[in-house]
């Protein structure tokens, strides 16, 4: 394959990934809402904490794991959409040792006025919370999982509403 053929293939895969993730994001947001509802209408911290800490009630503990998975997958979609959107648009994704690729992509989207500064900050917090859940699970308290879930849920819908019309021009 020629270099231009390689580039077309990469662009095609990137467009397909963005299309797939963007189409599936509402389902992931709904799954997160559903996982949160397992702990009551008001996402009760005491119920979450009991399930989070149980060693006997595996049904309750599995609800916690479903919540963790929903938080991680929803935030991963937001991160993938951001990074791939920036790259598809031909924008620079600067290297920064202090921030991961997703956080840098959020900043580029803010600079391009796709998202505002407030949403950018929230998305970065959500990304850090997701990373912490995945890498420091044993040492985090149930309250941090609750905060992460609320943060990711808040960001994902706002991101989708801002991102969808912008990325349409590149698909």
Per-residue pLDDT tens digits for 59-69: 999 999 999 99
Residue scoring higher pLDDT (100 or 99): 100
> Does residue 3 carry a pLDDT above 60?
no
Please state, in angstroms and rounded to a whole number, the distance separating the CA atoms of residues 101 and 55.
Answer: 37
> Does residue 99 carry a pLDDT above 80?
no
pLDDT of residue 137: 67
Instruction: Grade residue 97 by pLDDT with cuts at 50, 70 and 90.
Output: low
What mean pLDDT comes out for the span 98-117?
94
> Does residue 96 carry a pLDDT above 80?
no
Please state, in angstroms and rounded to a whole number, the distance separating the CA atoms of residues 162 and 81.
Answer: 12
Task: Name the DSSP letter for residue 170.
Answer: T
Q: What are residue 38's phi and psi, to 5 degrees?
A: -60, -15
Please state, in angstroms and rounded to a whole number, the distance separating the CA atoms of residues 23 and 155.
Answer: 17
pLDDT of residue 140: 87
Mean of pLDDT over the chain: 93
Q: CB atoms < 10 A from the CB of 158, how many? A: 17
**Domain 3-168: CATH class, spelled out:** mainly alpha
State if pTM tops 0.85.
yes
136 is written with which tokens? 């420091």
pLDDT of residue 107: 96
Per-residue pLDDT tens digits for 28-86: 999 999 999 999 999 999 999 999 999 999 999 999 999 999 999 999 999 999 999 99
pLDDT of residue 4: 59
């Amino acid at each position: 394959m020629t270099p231009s053929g390689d580039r077309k293939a990469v662009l095609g895969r990137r467009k397909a990934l963005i299309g797939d993730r963007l189409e599936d994001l509402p389902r992931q947001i709904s799954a997160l809402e559903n996982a949160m509802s397992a702990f009551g209408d008001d996402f009760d911290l005491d119920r979450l904490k009991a399930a989070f800490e149980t060693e006997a009630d595996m049904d309750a503990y599995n609800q916690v794991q479903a919540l963790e998975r929903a938080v991680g997958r929803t935030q991963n979609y937001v991160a993938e959409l951001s990074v791939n959107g920036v790259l598809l648009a031909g924008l620079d994704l600067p290297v920064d040792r202090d921030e991961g690729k997703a956080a840098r992509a959020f900043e580029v989207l803010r600079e391009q006025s796709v998202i505002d500064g407030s949403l950018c900050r929230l998305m970065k917090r959500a990304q850090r919370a997701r990373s912490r859940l995945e890498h420091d699970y044993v040492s985090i308290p149930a309250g941090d999982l609750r905060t992460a879930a609320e943060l990711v849920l808040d960001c994902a819908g706002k991101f989708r509403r801002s991102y969808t019309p912008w990325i349409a021009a590149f698909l």
